[in-house]
Structure 1
Amino acid sequence: MISNNYFSDNEDLKDHFDSLTDWKEIVDSYEENFADYALYQKTSQEELAYAPGNYEDAIEFYRSTLEAGGDIAGKDVSQVAKQMDEVGLKYKDGKVTFPKEMIDVINKIKSAGLLPYGIHRHYGGIGLPSVVQSMLSESVSRADGGLAITLGCMNLAETVERFGTEEMIHEFVPKMAAGELCGAMALTEPNYGSDLPNLQTKAVKGEDGVWRITGTKRFITHACGFDTMPSIILTLARTGSTTSGARGLSFFLVHSKDIFVASIEKKMGLHCSPTCEVVFENSPGILIGDEGKGLVKYSMAMMNQARLNIAAQAMGIATAAYFEGRKYATERVQFGKTIDQIPAVKKMLDRMEREIAGMRCILYEASRSVDLYRWKEERGRMNGIPEKEIRKDETFKRWEKLASLLTPLSKYYITELANVVASDALQIHGGSGYTEDYDVARIYRDVRITNIYEGTTQLQVVACIGSIVAGMTETGIFREYIKDEMSKFKVSDELKELWSQLETIVSEFAEISGTLREELAFEVVESAARLLVSLLLERSVPRAKVERRAARKTIAQDYVLDSSAILVSNLTKIKGKKKSLATV
């Protein structure tokens, strides 16, 4: 793979950092008047030593973290990704062995102080807003998607931070920050994949007050831990009756020493990411939060962040595909010229660049929406403010609702387009791309899971459609958000027309009922995503540095043109299906 700093060599990513991101609103939200800096001045609390004391320090800290992460990703991880993939994982008697190359680069990341990027600095983490976490995850995923998942699992402390007791937080989260514990999510069962309300793993509270869990979970990433590092497994189990549905499920923390890893999956890609089948047999568990809220509150909160992480992972893999495809095209000579000069290939490269720019816009907008509500909740908890008081805040409620839409929307959109970009990259390589001699083959295999796990595209559509239809009403929050963002720059006539097309699509769809409504939901969600990304690309043009504006304007114009064709097609499908149904 290309050896370089995967942050500094990516002009579009740097655009987002240097000029497209409103750092004041992000820093205001995350740092809350630089409260950690002020606390450090009073207490000299070691964990807060690097807390920034002003905007300039905060932005410089974020930049230096991304540059350090990009350097290790592009010069270390990327250079052993092929070897890691070829060696893969070994399983024997419940134990999983990892490639030495993977252990070495994880230790390098740990030594650089970058491992706990998603953990709050109060508990020994780095302390990064969601936007910066997504940028870092993208860079690492570009080097190797499987290793990025490992780092994500090591940062899987959010649920404990948000919903655990103080005792639980202080027992487990600092150990994760120190690289002493990994994390895993145990939701799926062999007979219940996405059908979580009907899962059967059972938790029973004994006379000694200890909950004990029995059942089997499947597709559990890093339930085995990593190398010598055990995992804490965040487990969804039934505490109510078998007919109590979602309300009968609770959330538990289970140590990996108390479960048995029965096997690991032999997968098409991500060969260094252990996907485990896990057996619980009277395994002791610690209840997280309130009984009966495991799915409706805690699992959903955890899955929303996980979906954003997968969107960032797919973003990184797609970026790798584009860079590798472009490199090959500028070096491969056919018919007396490099193939990037052949119009058909140039068209593919231009489309890949355009789609990646759009994907990056929606990823960081979804991350922004998380930043603008989540930290208010976490800071409030640290300061002893009751949750119900925090939830009265109108700004909090607005961004929480938008995050609940933008997170699944970005997960669907980015993972689907990442598969297209990887396919195009392989096509540019021709027959060579179908061999394992080139990294694009591994990239193509690795990206394929992203629109499946943490909720398939079809489930993301289900998660989005209600918020889009309700959000497009006269007082709807999605309409309000779009209009507000459009008011911040001079909108092109083409984007105005696209907005009008979306309004018509949603209006036509709202009149549909029954199974046809479910059948056509994708067309509505795709249309909303294309409108949103078109808006974000146009919004980026006046914000960009002068020398980058012309390039961004061209990308935005071409993207809006593509989107218009897609929305016209979707409207035609919806009207046609309605007409066919009416004549039956």
Structure 2
Amino acid sequence: MISNNYFNDNDDLIDHFDSLTPWNAVIDQYEQGFEDFAEFQKSGKEELTFAPGNYEDAIEFYRSTLEAGGDIAGNDISQIAKQMDEEGLKYKDGQVGFPKSMLDVTEKIKSAGLLPYGIHRHYGGLGLPSVVQSMLSECVSRGDGSLAITLGCMNLAETVERFGTEEMIHEFVPKMAAGELCGAMALTEPNYGSDLPNLQTKAVKGEDGVWRITGTKRFITHACGFGDAPSIILTLARTGSTTSGARGLSFFLVHSKDVFVASIEKKMGLHCSPTCEVVFENAPGILIGEEGKGLVKYSMAMMNQARLNIAAQAMGIATAAYFEGKKYAEERVQFGKTISNITAVKKMLERMEREVAAMRCILYEASFAVDQYRWKEERGKMKGLTEKDIKKDETFKKWEKLASLFTPLSKYYITEMANVVAYDALQIHGGSGYTEDYDVARLYRDVRITNIYEGTTQLQTVACIGGIVSGMTETGIYREYLKSEMAGFVSSSELNDLFKQFETVVAEFAEIDSTPLREELAFEVVESAARFHNSMLLERSVGRSKVERRAHRKSLTESYILDSAAVLAANLTKIRGKKKTPVTA
């Protein structure tokens, strides 16, 4: 793997940090008038020591955090990734052993103060907005996807922070921030993967008031904990009848010492990420939030953040694949010249670069949308406001809806295209890429899971389609967002034409009254939305970019819009053709 600072060596990422991200808008929402700084001035609370008092301090803190994380990612994590992958995990009698190099580099991350990046500073975390978290996750994932998942699990405190009692928050979250506890999400069961409403794991409340959980969960990442740190397992279990569906499910916190890890999966990739089968036998659990809202409220909120994290993971792996492919192409000589100068390879590299640029745009726009509502909710709770009071805010409602669309849209697009970029990187390496001598083989294996776990691409399509169709009506929130953003720059005739194509795709789809046909063609609409969304974000970025990068970004954007026009034309042809030939039973 290339050894370098994975933040500083990435010109496109630096462009996003320096020029494209509207930091003042992010900081306004996260800091809420720099309340933490003001409180530190009065109380001197240790956990608020690094709370910024102005925009410049906040941006400098974010930059220094990313530079430190990029340094460890590129000069430490990336250099042991191959060794970790080859060594893998050891399982015996319910216990999982990790490579020493993995434990050591995690300790280095902890010593650098970077471990609790996703935990609020009030509970011992770094206090980073979602945009910065995504940037950091991208850098770490470029170094190694397995380790990025581990760090993500050790930051899995959001659900407890948002929905737990004060007692629960103060009992568990600071321990996660200190690296004393890991986290895990236990949703999937052996016979129920994405079919969460029909889960069978049962929770029964005893006469002593303690909930006890019985059942089996599968594909549970880090249910075994990590090293010496046990896990708190956020568990979805049935408290209602077996026929009560989603309304009969509740959410619990279960300690890993109270369950048995029956096995770990032998996987194609991510060899140092433990995917566990977990047996619950009357395991004591602590109810999170209200009974019966485990799936519809708490699990869905948790999965939305997890999906954004997986998008960032895929973003990092795609970035690694692009840079590794580019490096190889610029060094490999064939027919008297480097293969980067061979037209067919040059064409692949150019497509990889513009796809990575588009992926980065949609990832950070989704993260920005989360920042525009989540912190208002979190700080409102700290001030004693009710959920009902917080959600009266029109701006809150707008960005919550947009984030609910952008999250699955980015998860689908980034993970699918990351697979394409890794495929192309391996192809550029030729026969050598098919061996384990080069890191691209591991990247190809690791990225394959990203469009499967935390909701497959097909499930992301289901999550997106309603928001796109309703959002593109005359008064729809997505149309309003697109029009507002396009009013902020002089859009090209090509982008305007693409918007008309997108409108036509949605309008033609909306006319379909056959449910089977709508289900069959939903992906074409979602893909069209993603292509236009990215085209708009790329073109918007040209005028905001650093002057020295504008010409290059404009070239990338023009090529991407051309590709998108072809995709939308094909999708419109499919929709019109299928409407003429209805689906038969």
TM-score when normalising by structure 2 = 0.99
Secondary structure of the residue aligned to 1:252 is: strand
1:312 aligns with: 312
**Using a 3 Å threshold, how does the CA distance of structure 1 residues 583 and 212 change in structure 2: closer, same or farther?**
closer
Matched, 1:516 2:520: no
Secondary structure of the residue aligned to 1:2 is: coil
2:540 aligns with: 539
**Using a 3 Å threshold, how does the CA distance of structure 1 residues 289 and 548 change in structure 2: closer, same or farther?**
same
Could you tell which deviates more after superposition, 574-583 or 41-50?
574-583
1:551 aligns with: 552
1:390 aligns with: 390
Secondary structure of the residue aligned to 2:180 is: coil
1:103 aligns with: 103
Secondary structure of the residue aligned to 2:372 is: helix
Secondary structure of the residue aligned to 2:169 is: helix
Matched, 1:117 2:117: yes
Measure the CA separation in 2 of the matches of 1:34 and 1:86.
47
Matched, 1:227 2:227: yes
2:453 aligns with: 453
Letter in 2 for 1:533: N
Secondary structure of the residue aligned to 2:214 is: strand
Measure the CA separation in 2 of the matches of 1:517 and 1:287.
39
Measure the CA separation in 2 of the matches of 1:379 and 1:315.
30
Letter in 1 for 2:293: K
Letter in 2 for 1:161: E
1:175 aligns with: 175
1:94 aligns with: 94
Measure the CA separation in 2 of the matches of 1:27 and 1:581.
51
Secondary structure of the residue aligned to 1:450 is: coil
Measure the CA separation in 2 of the matches of 1:150 and 1:41.
35
Once the two structures are superposed, the pairs formed by residues 28-427 of structure 1 within 5 Å of their partners are 28-427=28-427
Letter in 1 for 2:519: E
Deviation at 1:583, TM superposition (A): 11
Once the two structures are superposed, the pairs formed by residues 490-509 of structure 1 within 5 Å of their partners are 490-509=490-509
* Residues 59-112 of structure 1: CA deviation (Å, up to 9, x unaligned): 000000000000000000000000000000000000000001100100000000
Letter in 1 for 2:403: A
Letter in 2 for 1:253: L
Letter in 1 for 2:353: E
* Residues 429-463 of structure 1: CA deviation (Å, up to 9, x unaligned): 00000000000000000000000000000000000
Letter in 1 for 2:459: L
Letter in 1 for 2:466: G
Letter in 2 for 1:552: R
Deviation at 1:385, TM superposition (A): 1.1
1:480 aligns with: 480
Letter in 1 for 2:179: G
Letter in 2 for 1:17: F
* Residues 281-329 of structure 1: CA deviation (Å, up to 9, x unaligned): 0000000000000000000000000000000000000000000000000
Q: Answer whether contact 2:215 2:281 (CA < 8 A) is retained.
A: yes
Measure the CA separation in 2 of the matches of 1:315 and 1:435.
23
**Using a 3 Å threshold, how does the CA distance of structure 1 residues 380 and 496 change in structure 2: closer, same or farther?**
same
Percent of aligned positions that are identical: 82
Measure the CA separation in 1 of the matches of 2:429 and 2:451.
23
Deviation at 1:581, TM superposition (A): 2.0
Q: Answer whether contact 2:325 2:429 (CA < 8 A) is retained.
A: yes
Secondary structure of the residue aligned to 2:233 is: strand
1:564 aligns with: 565
* Residues 387-422 of structure 1: CA deviation (Å, up to 9, x unaligned): 100000000000000000000000000000000000
Letter in 2 for 1:203: A
* Residues 221-247 of structure 1: CA deviation (Å, up to 9, x unaligned): 000000111000000000000000000
Measure the CA separation in 1 of the matches of 2:104 and 2:11.
29
- Gap runs ≥5 in structure 2: none
Letter in 1 for 2:463: A
Deviation at 1:580, TM superposition (A): 1.5
Measure the CA separation in 2 of the matches of 1:104 and 1:332.
35
Secondary structure of the residue aligned to 1:179 is: coil
Secondary structure of the residue aligned to 1:220 is: strand
* Residues 45-67 of structure 1: CA deviation (Å, up to 9, x unaligned): 00000000000000000000000
Deviation at 1:582, TM superposition (A): 9.1
Deviation at 1:480, TM superposition (A): 0.5
Measure the CA separation in 1 of the matches of 2:119 and 2:153.
11
1:578 aligns with: 579
Measure the CA separation in 1 of the matches of 2:124 and 2:339.
50
Measure the CA separation in 2 of the matches of 1:581 and 1:467.
24
Secondary structure of the residue aligned to 1:253 is: strand
Superposition RMSD on alpha carbons, in Å? Answer: 0.8
Matched, 1:470 2:470: yes
Secondary structure of the residue aligned to 2:283 is: strand
**Using a 3 Å threshold, how does the CA distance of structure 1 residues 307 and 583 change in structure 2: closer, same or farther?**
closer
Q: Answer whether contact 2:223 2:276 (CA < 8 A) is retained.
A: yes
Letter in 2 for 1:532: H
Letter in 2 for 1:234: L
Letter in 2 for 1:526: E
Q: Answer whether contact 2:398 2:477 (CA < 8 A) is retained.
A: yes
* Residues 315-350 of structure 1: CA deviation (Å, up to 9, x unaligned): 000000000000000000000000000000000000
Measure the CA separation in 2 of the matches of 1:453 and 1:465.
19
Measure the CA separation in 2 of the matches of 1:144 and 1:45.
35
TM-score when normalising by structure 1 = 1.00
Letter in 2 for 1:107: E
Q: Answer whether contact 2:517 2:583 (CA < 8 A) is retained.
A: no
Letter in 2 for 1:373: Y
* Residues 161-189 of structure 1: CA deviation (Å, up to 9, x unaligned): 00000000000000000000000000000
How many correspondences in the alignment? Answer: 584
Measure the CA separation in 1 of the matches of 2:508 and 2:31.
44
Letter in 2 for 1:466: G
2:22 aligns with: 22
Measure the CA separation in 1 of the matches of 2:583 and 2:184.
49
Measure the CA separation in 2 of the matches of 1:576 and 1:388.
46
Secondary structure of the residue aligned to 2:373 is: helix
Secondary structure of the residue aligned to 2:216 is: strand
Measure the CA separation in 2 of the matches of 1:200 and 1:87.
36
Secondary structure of the residue aligned to 1:444 is: helix
Letter in 2 for 1:380: G
Deviation at 1:507, TM superposition (A): 0.6
